Amino acid sequence: MRIAIGSDHRGHQIKAKLKTLLTADGHEVIDFGTDNDAPVDYPDYAVSVAKQVADGAAERGILICGTGFGMAIAANKFKGVRAAACADEVMAEMCRRHNDVNVLCLPGDLIGDRPVGDLVRVWLATEFEGGRHSRRLEKISHIELENAR
């Protein structure tokens, strides 16, 4: 799978670990930075990753900031992107199962020493259930189209 990944300064260490893990698992990883502790603005990285997913250049995206919330808000501005902040495996599984989330936003400050790779692997392996959830996603797509500027 082709995965776009990006982080701000608060998530770069987790991003580096995930890059290694994802590559070892056979995924192609497109890294949009950042790679150090120098303060940067998370929307810049959210835009880079969300564009890749929206345009179909990447099948999925992963973003990491302090809480995951800012990245999710910014990424969700792109048509076809469904981004969610997740802090554990249950959230990661359910966002895929019910919402077909294609951009995972992680809270770099809240993950701590927990094995974030397990969370990401669950998210990547979980399929969208479809059914009643498809109807709901169609409604969301309609809202997106009606409110596009």
pTM over 0.75: yes
Catalytic residue among 9, 12, 27, 65: 65
Report the CATH number at residue 112: 3.40.1400.10
d(CA 148, CA 77): 9
Question: What interhelical angle do 132-146 and 89-99 show, nearest 10?
Answer: 80
Question: Does residue 95 carry a catalytic annotation?
Answer: no
Pairing state between β 60-65 and 2-7: parallel
Q: How many domains does the chain fold into?
A: 1
Residues spanned by the domain of 19: 2-146
pLDDT tens for the chain, residues 1 to 149:
999 999 999 999 999 999 999 999 999 999 999 999 999 999 999 999 999 999 999 999 999 999 999 999 999 999 999 999 999 999 999 999 999 999 999 999 988 777 899 999 999 999 999 999 999 999 999 999 998 76
Catalytic annotation present for 12: no
Tokens of 130: 């479809």
Neighbours of 93 (CB within 10 A): 16
Strand partners, 97: none
